[in-house]
Amino acid sequence: MVEQIIDLEAVEQGEYLVKSDFDSQLQERKQEMDEIHSKMKRHLASVAKDIGLEAGSSIKLEFVSQHGYHFRITLKDETLIRKNNSYRILDAIKGGVRFTTSKLQDYSDSFATLKSAYEEQQQTIVAEVIRVAIGYIDPWTMLNNQIAQLDCLVSFAVSASTAPIPYVRPKMHKDGPSVLKLSQIRHPCLELQEDVNFIANDALFAQDASMYIITGPNMGGKSTYIRSVGVTVLMAHVGAFVPCENAEMSIVDCILGRVGANDNFTKGLSTFMVEMIETAGIIRKATGKSLVIIDELGRGTSTYEGCGIAWSIAEWLAKDSKCFTLFATHFQEITDLATYVPNVKNCHMEAIVDEKRMTLLYQVKPGVMEKSFGIQVAKLANFPPGVIQLAQKFYSECEDHRGSLKEKHAADGLKVLQSCFEQIDNFDCESDTFSLSSDALQNLRSLMN
């Protein structure tokens, strides 16, 4: 219907018209318009001969909505028509002088009248075309939806079969205890890059291991690892195969992520404020069936405040929400959470570091990585040696100060404990009970605080 009705040649010129031969009245109007247009071209030749210019080159027939059809000559040729009463100048522009004649004006008016009648008749045909097309809305909508779904599923299949290592079908659990076991998980985008030999890792969650606190050097692969888990779980839930050797998971109610950090200057929000707003949303929405991935929370503020915020959020997710969580951080103190909460486990990205270089292995291993090796990364970035030496000096001083503070606090604590034991009253061997004096209780409370 479109091919039969629309004038495709006019479309190439930016006009959307119904073909003149589609309707007898349109065809009649078109013939009349073409005849007037031919008369205007003959009149152009006559005017060109009269003023001594070449038709179509030095003098042109043009159309603008303001003046209709008119002639245009260059500014330097304007003297040829200036004193001739047969020609009326319309205006002068950078491209030349526009003028008309009484005969051309009549032709232009007649052409405009015919074109208006043509368009009115055309609108009648367009209205009928739309009425017919409306009857196809339901099948077209259904067809569009089916093609969209087919396109999506075919894309899933192509991605799964053409990957460097073919994807596998995940085993999904609708009911029962929450489980998430991903063996040799890969990132579906990064593994496609040229000259990349992607290092796969496992992500094994259970009720007694619902949170993993991930430490390790900068550029060691922490962010890539947690993103791989998030993307894989998302792919499984939308019906795609996943980039693993084996995948088994429960259906999650949501995937909540706090990855990356950017400010929002249009709303006047700093990087840290955006981070806190997003984290607050995670705390409100996370349930026992959620997956949460958090990357370096709290780095946008002071070290101690950031560490405190990160610790409190990690503890809440582990104790209250009990959702599956990957928590990547450079705050080594947070790894102590695994000592107090049984379902928290520590792991790190493996790296080999010596005095000259650092080799990143991109492998997830159990336990804690004690350092982030930021100075070694600065060396890789070709920092000036003087800057590296100064950074190492200040780092060593901070570590020494931190160690001395720990020793002092430990010594003070031992003194308080010793004082408490010396003030034990009424010790009962049979029931293993005893009482403390009020001073000893106060000292013990201070130590605990």
Residue 66's SS3 state is coil
Does one domain contain both 115 and 176? no
- pLDDT of 206 above 60: yes
Domain count, the chain: 3
Least confident residue range of 70-74, 131-135, 194-198, 400-404: 400-404
Does one domain contain both 97 and 178? no
- 323 CB burial (10 A radius; 0-12, 13-18, 19+): buried
Please indicate, yes or no, if residue 437 is contained in any of the structural domains. Answer: no
Sheet containing strand 255-258, strands side by side: 255-258, 291-295, 324-328, 211-215, 344-353, 358-366
Please indicate, yes or no, if residue 442 is contained in any of the structural domains. Answer: no
> Can you say whether residue 189 is alpha, beta or left, with left for phi > 0 and alpha for psi between -120 and 50 degrees?
alpha
Does one domain contain both 229 and 133? no
Higher pLDDT among residues 433 and 366, named by residue: 366
In the 3-class helix/strand/coil scheme, how is 367-423 assigned residue by residue?
Answer: CCCCCCCHHHHHHHCCCCHHHHHHHHHHHHHHHHHHHHHHHHHHHHHHHHHHHHHHC
Instruction: Give the burial string for 411-428 (b: 16+ CB within 10 Å, else e).
Output: eeeeebeeebeebeeeee
Does one domain contain both 125 and 251? no
Does one domain contain both 352 and 387? no
Please indicate, yes or no, if residue 60 is contained in any of the structural domains. Answer: yes
Residue 246's SS3 state is strand
CATH number at residue 38: 1.10.1420.10
The pLDDT value given to residue 174 = 87
Q: Could you tell me which residues come within 8 angstroms of residue 239 by beta carbon, excluding any fewer than 6 positions away?
A: 153, 156
- 111 CB burial (10 A radius; 0-12, 13-18, 19+): buried
Least confident residue range of 21-35, 309-323, 338-352, 408-422: 408-422
Please indicate, yes or no, if residue 444 is contained in any of the structural domains. Answer: no
CATH number at residue 309: 3.40.50.300
Does one domain contain both 274 and 212? yes
pTM for the full model? 0.62
Q: Are 85 and 95 in contact (CB under 8 A)?
A: no
Does one domain contain both 192 and 335? yes
What's the CA gap between 352 and 365, in Å, rounded? 13
The residue among 350, 372, 394 that closes a domain is 372
- pLDDT of 440 above 70: no
Does one domain contain both 180 and 305? yes
| Interaxial angle between packed helices 102-134 and 24-51, expressed in degrees from 0 to 180 and rounded to the nearest 10 | 150
The residue among 372, 406, 440 that closes a domain is 372
Closest CA to 248 of 176, 172, 188: 172
Residue where the block lists tokens 């245009």? 72
Chain Cα centroid distance, residue 131: 41
Does one domain contain both 397 and 349? no
What's the CA gap between 288 and 323, in Å, rounded? 4
Least confident residue range of 84-88, 241-245, 399-403: 399-403
Helix (H) or strand (E) holding 217: none
Tokens of 127: 């209205």
Does one domain contain both 133 and 20? yes
Does one domain contain both 364 and 393? no
Please indicate, yes or no, if residue 395 is contained in any of the structural domains. Answer: yes
Please indicate, yes or no, if residue 238 is contained in any of the structural domains. Answer: yes
Does one domain contain both 179 and 46? no
pLDDT in tens, 294-333: 988 877 777 788 888 889 999 999 999 899 999 998 888 8
The residue among 138, 171, 186 that closes a domain is 138
Domain, as residue range, for 221: 163-372
Confidence of residue 167 (pLDDT cuts 50, 70, 90): very high
Please indicate, yes or no, if residue 144 is contained in any of the structural domains. Answer: no
Q: Are 262 and 274 in contact (CB under 8 A)?
A: yes
Please indicate, yes or no, if residue 149 is contained in any of the structural domains. Answer: no
Tokens of 228: 């791989």
pLDDT in tens, 220-247: 889 999 999 999 999 999 999 999 999 9
User: For residue 18, what are the β-bridge partners?
Assistant: 6
